[in-house]
Structure 1
């Protein structure tokens, strides 16, 4: 169930790489306890938006507020400590490290909620397959297992807001089902999620609200049901 408290708000966000402006005045909000999805074609500015929110892309904005605090000038480490973390596109686990070592790195800045070993135990309860692979190198895992590890590693910092960038990319259809069930389950346990996902139909099935980006700008926004019923969204993104 979603709440009315605004957890994240950005006003007039711009992301520029040299002469290329990838995000052009984007404004959005995410309320505590909901899944919000960003939809759009490749190059629409979705990943750039997520990277900018955590300080990994050059950004300018009238405001980027997280839990009421302005974070637009904060470094990535400070943003993670405040409770926002990103699972990047392509998973990017540390292939030569074990599953346990990847989790330990994810919890390196855990400072707010109890002992780190308790957080790890919670992750292994949520992701039992990782417990079975704990001493394997991450590079030996399947694509779906690596995605689970990437999400678990991010959750080791006990975030209030999880940014997910293309979690189903490159995964087999049966594995995709499990990933979306996992994301919905995280929201049901109270985690707030901002989701970028190529599979628009599946994203709208689990999301509460969404924004459609076109050329770095918000073209359409609304509830997931409204977007799924929109003829322009159906024609462009849902294969109808």
Structure 2
């Protein structure tokens, strides 16, 4: 398991016994995980393993059937999505889900509607346009006219408009060309360098473990393996199932 004692600031997110069900189907079964401040932690696993359900439950978009979620030393298990975002956790969902008929700027402004209070929305918007110069160039374009990579950058920038401490990223490389995927992952690394903590769900196991500090492997809604990224890269299970060894 991940040793939080080796991380100076300790856990930012601590999840104990998380359970998520959709009717009779149990999608997440007693998951324990933690994300320490300043880390990238990745959730790995096949489609249907429970990765997206876990992220959705953490931000209140899927009902928790059991367990506790502690964030920034506060129990947020029963909070609404709006309350969780204001506490400093936000999600960039799978498939980006931008508003295609709104402009880039309007998408950003909507992202700042639930601001966590660090800097004014105008200051954060200016920071996003500096961090993502392509969005500044496309500011008044309809978001639906952007390329896939630009839309993904917009989706992440929209999430960052709430000034989160923890960003949950769900499949940021989905549907993107390899060159664009490399750019997205470089951007994720820069976000960590700038102090953001990230919980990453990603099908590209090799790239995820290159940039992650630690990870968890899910199967059938349960954690079956966890450790540092280096440990997971060299494990027989990961090598055989995901890295083609």
| TM-score above 0.5, yes or no | yes
Given the alignment, which residue of 222, 225, 228 partners 2:230?
225
Distance in 2 separating the partners of 1:220 and 1:102: 38
User: 2:13 is matched with which residue?
Assistant: 8
Q: Structure 2, unaligned stretches of length 5 or more?
A: 1-6
User: 1:57 is matched with which residue?
Assistant: 62
- State how 1:1-240 maps to structure 2 within 5 Å: 3-240=8-245
Deviations along 1:88-142, one digit per CA (max 9) or x if unpaired, are 0000000000000000000012151222111111001110000000000000000
Distance in 1 separating the partners of 2:119 and 2:230: 38
Distance in 2 separating the partners of 1:133 and 1:185: 22
CA-atom RMSD in angstroms: 1.1
- TM-score using structure 1 length: 0.98
Deviations along 1:19-74, one digit per CA (max 9) or x if unpaired, are 11000110000000000000000000000000000000111333110111111110
- TM-score using structure 2 length: 0.96
Distance in 1 separating the partners of 2:135 and 2:23: 41
Q: Mean Cα displacement is larger for which, 185-194 or 109-118?
A: 109-118
Q: Match of 1:57, SS?
A: coil
Q: Structure 1, unaligned stretches of length 5 or more?
A: none
Q: Match of 1:24, SS?
A: strand
Q: How many residues align structurally?
A: 240
Q: Mean Cα displacement is larger for which, 212-221 or 61-70?
A: 61-70
